[in-house]
């Protein structure tokens, strides 16, 4: 318990996947079929069956994940195996295809599957590197607390700005009203906003001369700087959390498409025997 | 002269009306005298809608009037109906001002001048008729009242509530909803109030709903203000209303004028009565709160019984059939004989009065065991208390050698260590011969320990010896430890208290018997936590052995009880036992090494400090999340909801984080669960595996929710039916996995289905007991970020995450 999926149970599933891959590769090397290696030889059928089985099993993870309280194997075992066997699948399926790629349904399956695997690898990278960044970025505050602090700063800003000149007041009001956190997918992924009204307001106040209201100007400035810092963190938070999820929008649809292509592939192969 | 009756009953509270109803039923001539124009004035004056409890639950009700836990209104209605149906002779507006015995009859003088004669008198006047009043200038002004019937009657007023007992606090909280409330507390803190009320009032004061003056007394009342004597002078508070809840006491003057004697001058003392409730004046009986039995059900039973006694039937108490059933296995149906055998044989029960003993036995389970049968196993998480009536049991003191057995004979008790520490059983206990044991639940024992001093003393003496033998000096015979144990004393510490400080002189050591501590050292001007010490360990031996000042500071992580052992006595024991000395010194060296290790990684100490600050120290099984692995998928919450009918008992995101360790809002299964403290139906239990859970008898009162300092209990409606994954995916049936069903009280759900009204129930983590494989949250975590740890593992978690 309490270890990352990569080292889980002393690399048990890495060993499984390696064994499977090595055995497949060995057979591929010693096998000398008539003509070009392809899916139609005895080894091709065997590797194809293994690949197909693996694909269905890998997709079953989505179902297993939602079967709470059932089965005695912890989900971490499943994910660890899912990751390693998924990577092994890339090799086994390639061997099954005999390194052939064409413009047909079979290659479509191969490409869909590879996109699924690569998106999975991207997801794995995200899962391993981002949690720590996410926690460090938050520095002990939850998203809710950060939002509450921003709301409080906004209240202060509005109050102080009321006593200031019109231009400052307008810039500050814009900062409190038009600052966007999150937004569209691209905005979330960008993690910052180059047209952020808060930054603009800060620049404006920095550049302005408070004159007799210098004390207020300073108060305004400190709050704007604090808000900017919070915004930076919270946008980074949104970005990281978004990244942790966004890869699934590729991984899942392509895995379903690959399953559909798998069915077509198997049916056509046997239909046109 | 007025009428003459067989029985005159004074006071129509639960006891009085039950007596009158029974007399009416039996056709005995009687009169029920009530001061007001309605029955049972005390309950009549309860806050509107107050939920009245019917404790003790095990006691059967024996009365012609009905009573069960419920709303004040329902209870009063049923009593009015009974009194009317049985044609009970009630004389309202009849305050009895004097009771005089004249030969064989009593003359009862009524305030309106009438005199009623009776052969026997039952005083069932309770205490609430004699409320304690303010005794200051202006106390008679109309703004002062001593009762609150309906808190919603008042709006937008400034109300001063005097008296921070349960009644005062309940009033203050109810009034604070639409008034500005000031609470006046005579002492410096809230002592002796129900845990639930303590949580409510602390919360209300923190939120600013109620303003509170501690250590304050009333000095003067004016028509629109009150002056309070506060520690730093006087405070005058303008107010519209003053509600004084100062408790009640026996109307001593009246009772004494009847010829009844009080045992002492104490204001709270009550007259003594015989087993048939007769006072020192023959023919004059006392039942209910005035006789020392303040519970409604007890009073009602006494009302029934006293009428039987008066007409000459020596009926057995109401619990007799239950006890007969309980003792059936003993092949002796005579309850009295068994009870007297218990009193004779078992010294712990010796100091209980007959009624207390009956109550204890009603709560206890009788075990008749054959030679060799297991009572409980080492590491079981049970915490009941056992006494031996006949035969003997053997305690396996060495977990590695089952032949090392200490035998306990009749009269002995065991199981007190689990009761005190709240941790797992330290030894396996088997029947050493055919034997008869009583198993008394933890709750009953705690109540007794609090109220019966001599019982606590007996328990402590034996417990100290056993704790020393188990945790400090295994294998050393009791005779050699005699001096050590006799000079030892039990010390209590609150969270944050310093047990001893670095640099102190070390002339004693502590054996932690309940709670846990942190050991810290000042390094470079700041405190570095070196270790966390759970109960069952000893501390302070280092300074003792090396004759040096204390090398570290030990603080209580939460409420701690230790056995404080005198250094000289301990050294003498060591000198006589070479093996023990070797053990202690080995541990000493191990500690020095561990401390040095810890000083090298101060961040691990900070993590322990953080965990302790979160109250993890009193937990037995805590859910932690390693944020360096957590991908925020909330699968843990979904798994919890799915395995518990749609309601998640954990909130992943909520809760504090330190370094990469996050403490989500989730039950820690405390050693001494706060939630268990005040559960009216006793619905919260601990399984032998340690899980604290709530069973189906929950009435949804919310006490546990308020008592939990970690806010892990919620009240929720029972969930609706769910469909399987594919029905949801393909047909859109029911809510999504992990999603809660929207349940609307007494209305319709989103799909237009009607519901009958259901009550809310308390729900909390039950550690997925009954689900093979253990906690779902941990099993459903795809990345291994969720982990459950027990206190023994804190050190390893801290060093890992550092």
Given an 8 Å threshold on Cβ–Cβ distance, is A5 in contact with B658? no
Q: Does A11 touch chain B (CB under 8 A)?
A: no
- Tell me what the pLDDT averaged over chain B comes to: 85
Q: pLDDT 10s per residue in chain A (273 long)?
A: 468 899 998 999 999 999 999 999 999 999 888 788 888 889 999 999 999 999 999 999 999 998 887 777 889 999 999 999 999 999 999 999 999 988 999 999 999 999 999 999 999 999 999 999 998 898 878 888 889 999 999 999 999 998 888 999 999 999 999 999 988 999 999 988 889 999 999 999 998 887 788 888 999 999 999 999 999 999 999 999 999 999 999 999 999 999 999 999 999 998 986
**Same domain, yes or no, for B188 and B278?**
no
CA distance A209 to A220: 13
Residue B773 is predicted with a pLDDT of 79
Residue B153 tokens read as 């009657």
Given an 8 Å threshold on Cβ–Cβ distance, is A72 in contact with B772? yes
What is the 8-class DSSP label of residue B677?
A: G
Q: Percent of chain B, pLDDT > 90?
A: 27
Measured between beta carbons, the chain B residues lying within 8 angstroms of A127 are 631, 783
Measured between beta carbons, the chain A residues lying within 8 angstroms of B797 are 2
Q: B775-787: per-residue pLDDT in tens?
A: 899 999 999 999 8
Å between B427 CA and nearest CA of chain A? 29
**Same domain, yes or no, for B271 and B221?**
no
Residue B618 is predicted with a pLDDT of 85
More confident residue, B294 or A16: A16
Given an 8 Å threshold on Cβ–Cβ distance, is B642 in contact with A68? yes
CA of residue B107 relative to chain centroid, distance: 45
Assess whether pLDDT exceeds 90 at residue B615: no
Q: Does A63 touch chain B (CB under 8 A)?
A: yes
**Domain-by-domain residue ranges, chain A?**
8-138+247-271, 143-245
Assess whether pLDDT exceeds 90 at residue B595: no
**Same domain, yes or no, for B63 and B88?**
yes
CA distance B686 to B676: 9
**Same domain, yes or no, for B334 and B431?**
yes
Measured between beta carbons, the chain B residues lying within 8 angstroms of A84 are none
Is B581 part of a structural domain of the chain?
yes
| Residue B21, CB-side half-sphere exposure with 13 Å CA sphere | 26
In the 3-class helix/strand/coil scheme, how is B492-548 assigned residue by residue? EECCCCEEECCCCCCCEEEEEEECEEEEEEEECCEEEEEEEEECCCEECHHHHHHCC
Give me the residue from A68, A76, A134 closest to B782, CB to CB: A76
> Is beta strand B428-431 parallel, antiparallel or unpaired with respect to B393-396?
antiparallel
Residue A141 is predicted with a pLDDT of 82
CA distance B300 to A185: 70
Q: Does B632 touch chain A (CB under 8 A)?
A: yes
Of B337-351, B541-555, B731-745, B779-793, which gets the smallest average pLDDT?
Answer: B731-745
Assess whether pLDDT exceeds 50 at residue B751: no
Give mean pLDDT, residues B674-699: 84
Please, where are the H alpha helices in chain A?
Answer: 8-30, 42-65, 75-97, 105-138, 143-162, 166-178, 185-190, 197-207, 214-246, 248-271
**CB < 8 Å from A in window 743-782 of B:** 768, 771-773, 776, 778-782
Judge whether B273 and B302 are in contact, CB under 8 Å.
no
Q: Does A148 touch chain B (CB under 8 A)?
A: no
Residue A33 is predicted with a pLDDT of 82
C-alpha distances (whole Å) from B368 to each of B200, B328, B375, B535 are 45, 10, 10, 32
Is B693 part of a structural domain of the chain?
yes
CA distance B465 to A115: 70
Is B215 part of a structural domain of the chain?
yes
Interface A–B counts its CB contacts (< 8 A) at: 94
Give me the residue from A5, A68, A134 closest to B638, CB to CB: A68
Most confident of B307-311, B343-347, B765-769: B307-311
* CA-closest candidate to residue B66, choices B56, B58, B76, B57: B76
Assess whether pLDDT exceeds 50 at residue B461: yes
Given an 8 Å threshold on Cβ–Cβ distance, is A63 in contact with B725? yes
> Which residues have C-beta within 8 Å of that of residue B704, sequence separation ≥ 6?
B675, B676, B678, B679, B684, B694, B713, B762, B764
Judge whether B660 and B801 are in contact, CB under 8 Å.
yes
The three-class DSSP label of residue A191 is: coil
Given an 8 Å threshold on Cβ–Cβ distance, is B737 in contact with A2? no
> Which residues have C-beta within 8 Å of that of residue B536, sequence separation ≥ 6?
B421, B423, B426, B470, B471, B512, B513
Judge whether B403 and B359 are in contact, CB under 8 Å.
no
Residue B563 tokens read as 């056995």
Å between A191 CA and nearest CA of chain B? 18
Residue A28 is predicted with a pLDDT of 93
| Residue B35, CB-side half-sphere exposure with 13 Å CA sphere | 17
Q: Does A3 touch chain B (CB under 8 A)?
A: yes
The three-class DSSP label of residue A158 is: helix
Q: Check whether the bond before B231 is cis (ω within 30° of 0).
A: no
Judge whether B438 and B387 are in contact, CB under 8 Å.
yes
Give mean pLDDT, residues B704-733: 79
CA distance B13 to B20: 10
* CA-closest candidate to residue B96, choices B257, B245, B207: B257
* CA-closest candidate to residue B462, choices B508, B363, B509, B395: B395
Given an 8 Å threshold on Cβ–Cβ distance, is A132 in contact with B658? no
Å between A262 CA and nearest CA of chain B? 21
Domain of B779: which CATH number? 3.30.70.20
Please, where are the H alpha helices in B513-634?
Answer: 541-546, 567-576, 578-600, 602-613
Given an 8 Å threshold on Cβ–Cβ distance, is A71 in contact with B773? yes
Q: Last residue of a domain, which of B204, B222, B244?
A: B244
C-alpha distances (whole Å) from A218 to each of A157, A214, A229, B185 are 11, 6, 17, 46
CA distance B621 to B673: 12
Measured between beta carbons, the chain B residues lying within 8 angstroms of A63 are 725
Give mean pLDDT, residues B635-664: 87
Q: Does A135 touch chain B (CB under 8 A)?
A: yes
The three-class DSSP label of residue B351 is: helix
Number of domains in chain B: 5
Judge whether B504 and B550 are in contact, CB under 8 Å.
yes
Is B751 part of a structural domain of the chain?
no
What is the 8-class DSSP label of residue B638?
A: H
**Same domain, yes or no, for B192 and B262?**
no
**Same domain, yes or no, for B578 and B646?**
no
Q: Last residue of a domain, which of B218, B244, B270?
A: B244
Residue B304: domain span: 4-129+250-310
Asked whether the ipTM of the predicted complex exceeds the cut of 0.95, the reply is: no
Q: B399-424: per-residue pLDDT in tens?
A: 888 888 888 999 999 988 888 877 78
Is B611 part of a structural domain of the chain?
no
> Is beta strand B217-222 parallel, antiparallel or unpaired with respect to B210-213?
unpaired
Measured between beta carbons, the chain A residues lying within 8 angstroms of B725 are 63, 66-67
Rg (CA), chain A: 28
Of B1-10, B40-49, B734-743, which gets the smallest average pLDDT?
Answer: B734-743
Domain of B397: which CATH number? 2.60.120.10
* CA-closest candidate to residue B509, choices B422, B574, B421, B420: B574
The three-class DSSP label of residue B553 is: strand
**Same domain, yes or no, for B109 and B153?**
no
Is B136 part of a structural domain of the chain?
no
Best residue in A12, A63, A66 for a mutation probing chain B (most B CBs within 10 Å) = A66
What is the 8-class DSSP label of residue B472?
A: I
Give me the residue from B627, B631, B738 closest to A127, CB to CB: B631
CA distance B177 to B195: 21
> Which residues have C-beta within 8 Å of that of residue A117, sequence separation ≥ 6?
A86, A87, A89, A90
**Same domain, yes or no, for B673 and B653?**
yes
Measured between beta carbons, the chain A residues lying within 8 angstroms of B626 are 2
Given an 8 Å threshold on Cβ–Cβ distance, is B660 in contact with A135? yes
Measured between beta carbons, the chain A residues lying within 8 angstroms of B794 are none
Please, where are the H alpha helices in B62-194?
Answer: 72-85, 166-175
Best residue in B635, B728, B784 for a mutation probing chain A (most A CBs within 10 Å) = B784
The helix (H) or strand (E) run that includes residue B451 is helix B442-451
**Same domain, yes or no, for B236 and B340?**
no
Is B753 part of a structural domain of the chain?
no
**Same domain, yes or no, for B660 and B790?**
yes
Given an 8 Å threshold on Cβ–Cβ distance, is A76 in contact with B781? yes
Domain of B221: which CATH number? 3.50.50.60
More confident residue, B623 or B522: B623
Measured between beta carbons, the chain A residues lying within 8 angstroms of B727 are none
Q: Does B654 touch chain A (CB under 8 A)?
A: yes
The three-class DSSP label of residue B23 is: helix
Residue whose token pair is 């009657």: B153
Of A183-197, A252-266, B27-41, B745-759, which gets the smallest average pLDDT?
Answer: B745-759
Give mean pLDDT, residues B186-190: 77
Best residue in B641, B765, B780 for a mutation probing chain A (most A CBs within 10 Å) = B780
Residue A55 is predicted with a pLDDT of 97
Å between B637 CA and nearest CA of chain A? 10
C-alpha distances (whole Å) from B65 to each of A225, B78, B111, B289, B442 are 73, 8, 28, 18, 33
Q: Does B725 touch chain A (CB under 8 A)?
A: yes
**Same domain, yes or no, for B278 and B297?**
yes
Measured between beta carbons, the chain B residues lying within 8 angstroms of A68 are 638-639, 642-643, 737-738, 776, 780
Q: Which residue of A has its CA nearest to B644?
A: A69
**Same domain, yes or no, for B181 and B123?**
no
Assess whether pLDDT exceeds 60 at residue B1: no
CA distance A84 to A100: 24
Q: Does A131 touch chain B (CB under 8 A)?
A: yes
CA of residue B410 relative to chain centroid, distance: 30
Q: Last residue of a domain, which of B210, B244, B278?
A: B244
Given an 8 Å threshold on Cβ–Cβ distance, is B776 in contact with A63? no
Q: What are phi and psi of B587, to 5 degrees?
A: -65, -40
Q: Does A10 touch chain B (CB under 8 A)?
A: no
Best residue in B656, B779, B797 for a mutation probing chain A (most A CBs within 10 Å) = B779
Is B731 part of a structural domain of the chain?
no
Residue A18 is predicted with a pLDDT of 96
Give mean pLDDT, residues B477-493: 87
Residue A263 is predicted with a pLDDT of 96
Given an 8 Å threshold on Cβ–Cβ distance, is A1 in contact with B778? yes
Assess whether pLDDT exceeds 50 at residue B242: yes
């Amino acid at each position: 318990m309490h270890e990352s999926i990569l080292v889980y149970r002393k690399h048990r599933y890495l060993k499984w996947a390696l064994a499977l891959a090595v055995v497949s590769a060995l057979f591929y090397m010693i096998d000398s079929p008539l003509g070009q290696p392809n899916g139609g030889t005895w080894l091709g059928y065997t590797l194809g069956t293994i690949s197909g089985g693996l694909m269905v099993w890998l997709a079953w993870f989505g179902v297993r994940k939602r079967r709470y309280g059932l089965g005695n194997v912890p989900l971490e075992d499943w994910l660890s195996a899912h990751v390693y066997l998924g990577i092994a699948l890339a090799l086994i399926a390639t061997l099954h295809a005999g390194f052939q790629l064409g413009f047909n349904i079979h290659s479509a399956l191969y490409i869909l599957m590879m996109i699924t695997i690569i998106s999975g690898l991207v997801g794995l990278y995200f899962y391993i590197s981002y949690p720590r960044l996410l926690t460090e970025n938050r520095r002990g505050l939850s998203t809710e607390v950060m939002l509450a602090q921003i709301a409080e700063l906004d209240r202060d800003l509005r109050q102080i700005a009321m006593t200031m000149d019109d231009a400052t007041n307008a810039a500050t009001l814009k900062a409190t009203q038009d600052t966007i956190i999150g937004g569209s997918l691209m905005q979330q992924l960008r993690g910052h906003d180059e047209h952020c009204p808060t930054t603009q307001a800060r620049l404006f106040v920095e550049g302005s001369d408070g004159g007799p209201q210098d004390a207020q100007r300073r108060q305004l400035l400190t709050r704007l700087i604090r808000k900017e810092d919070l915004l930076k963190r919270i946008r980074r938070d949104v970005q990281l959390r978004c990244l942790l999820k966004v890869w699934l929008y590729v991984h899942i649809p392509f895995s379903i498409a690959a399953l559909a292509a798998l069915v077509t592939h198997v049916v056509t192969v046997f239909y046109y025997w | 002269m007025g009428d003459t009756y067989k029985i005159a009953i004074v006071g129509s509270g639960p006891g009085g009306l039950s007596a009158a109803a029974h007399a009416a039923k039996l056709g005995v001539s009687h009169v029920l005298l009530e001061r007001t124009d309605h029955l049972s004035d005390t309950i009549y004056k309860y806050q509107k809608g107050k939920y009245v409890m019917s404790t003790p639950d095990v006691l059967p009700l024996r009365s012609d009037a009905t009573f069960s836990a419920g709303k004040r209104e329902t209870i009063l209605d049923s009593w009015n109906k009974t009194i009317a149906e049985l044609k009970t002779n009630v004389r309202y507006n009849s305050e009895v001002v004097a009771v005089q015995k004249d030969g064989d009859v009593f003359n009862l003088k009524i305030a309106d001048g009438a005199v009623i004669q009776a052969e026997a008198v039952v005083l069932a006047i309770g205490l609430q008729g004699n409320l304690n009043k303010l005794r200051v200038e202006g106390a008679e002004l109309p703004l002062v009242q001593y009762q609150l019937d309906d808190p919603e009657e008042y709006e937008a007023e400034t109300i001063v509530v005097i008296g921070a007992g349960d009644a005062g606090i309940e009033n203050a909280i109810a009034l604070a909803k639409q008034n500005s409330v000031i609470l006046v507390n005579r002492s410096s803190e809230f002592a002796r109030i129900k845990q639930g009320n303590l949580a409510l009032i602390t919360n209300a004061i923190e939120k600013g709903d109620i303003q509170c003056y501690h250590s304050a007394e009333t000095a003067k009342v004016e028509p629109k203000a009150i002056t309070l004597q506060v520690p730093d002078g006087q405070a005058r508070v303008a107010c519209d209303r003053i509600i004084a809840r100062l408790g009640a006491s026996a109307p001593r003057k009246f009772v004494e004028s009847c010829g009844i004697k009080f045992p002492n001058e104490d204001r709270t003392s009550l007259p003594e009565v015989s087993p048939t409730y007769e006072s020192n004046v023959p023919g004059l009986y006392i039942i209910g709160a005035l006789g020392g039995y303040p519970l409604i059900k007890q009073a009602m039973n006494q009302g029934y019984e006293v009428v039987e006694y008066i007409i000459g039937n020596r009926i057995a108490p109401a619990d007799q059939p239950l006890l007969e059933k309980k003792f059936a296995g003993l092949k002796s149906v005579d309850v009295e004989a068994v009870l007297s055998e218990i009193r004779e044989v078992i010294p712990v029960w010796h100091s209980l009065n007959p009624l207390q003993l009956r109550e204890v036995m009603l709560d206890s389970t009788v075990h008749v065991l054959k030679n060799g049968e297991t009572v409980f196993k080492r590491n079981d998480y049970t915490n009941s208390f056992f006494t031996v009536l006949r035969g003997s049991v053997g305690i396996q003191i060495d977990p590695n050698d089952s032949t090392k057995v200490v035998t306990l004979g009749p009269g002995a008790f065991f199981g007190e260590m689990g009761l005190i520490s709240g941790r797992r059983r330290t030894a396996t206990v088997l029947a050493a011969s055919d034997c008869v044991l009583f198993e008394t639940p933890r709750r009953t024992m705690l109540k007794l320990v609090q109220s019966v001093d001599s019982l606590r003393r007996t328990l402590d003496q034996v417990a100290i010896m056993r704790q020393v033998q188990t945790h400090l000096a295994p294998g050393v015979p009791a005779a050699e430890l005699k001096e050590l144990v006799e000079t030892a004393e039990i010390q209590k510490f609150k969270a944050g208290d310093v047990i001893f400080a670095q640099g102190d002189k070390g002339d004693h050591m502590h054996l932690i018997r309940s709670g846990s501590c942190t050991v810290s050292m000042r390094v470079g001007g700041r405190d570095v936590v070196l270790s966390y010490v759970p109960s069952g360990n000893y501390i302070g031996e280092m300074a003792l052995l090396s004759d040096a000042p204390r090398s570290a500071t030990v603080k209580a992580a939460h409420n701690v009880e230790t056995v404080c052992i005198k250094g000289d006595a301990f050294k003498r024991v060591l000198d006589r036992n070479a093996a023990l000395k070797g053990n202690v010194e080995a541990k000493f060296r191990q500690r020095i090494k561990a401390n040095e290790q810890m000083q090298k990684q101060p961040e691990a100490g900070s993590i322990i400090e953080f965990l302790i600050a979160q109250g993890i120290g009193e937990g037995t099984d805590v859910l932690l999340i390693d944020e360096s692995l957590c991908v925020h998928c909330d699968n843990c919450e979904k798994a919890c909801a799915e395995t518990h009918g749609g309601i998640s008992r954990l909130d992943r995101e909520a809760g504090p984080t330190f370094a990469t360790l996050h403490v989500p809002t989730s039950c820690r299964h405390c050693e001494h669960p706060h939630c268990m403290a005040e559960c009216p139906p006793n619905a919260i239990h601990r399984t032998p595996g340690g899980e604290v859970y709530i069973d189906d008898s929950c009435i949804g009162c919310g006490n546990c929710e308020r008592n939990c300092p970690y806010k892990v209990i919620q009240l929720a409606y029972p969930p609706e039916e769910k469909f399987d994954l594919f029905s949801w995916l393909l047909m859109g049936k029911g809510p999504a996995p992990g999603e809660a069903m929207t349940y609307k009280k007494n209305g319709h759900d989103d799909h237009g289905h009607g519901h009958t009204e259901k009550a809310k129930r308390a729900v909390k983590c039950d550690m997925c007991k009954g689900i093979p494989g253990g906690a779902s949250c941990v099993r459903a975590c795809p990345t291994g970020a969720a982990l459950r740890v027990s206190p023994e593992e804190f050190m390893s978690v801290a060093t890992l995450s550092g």
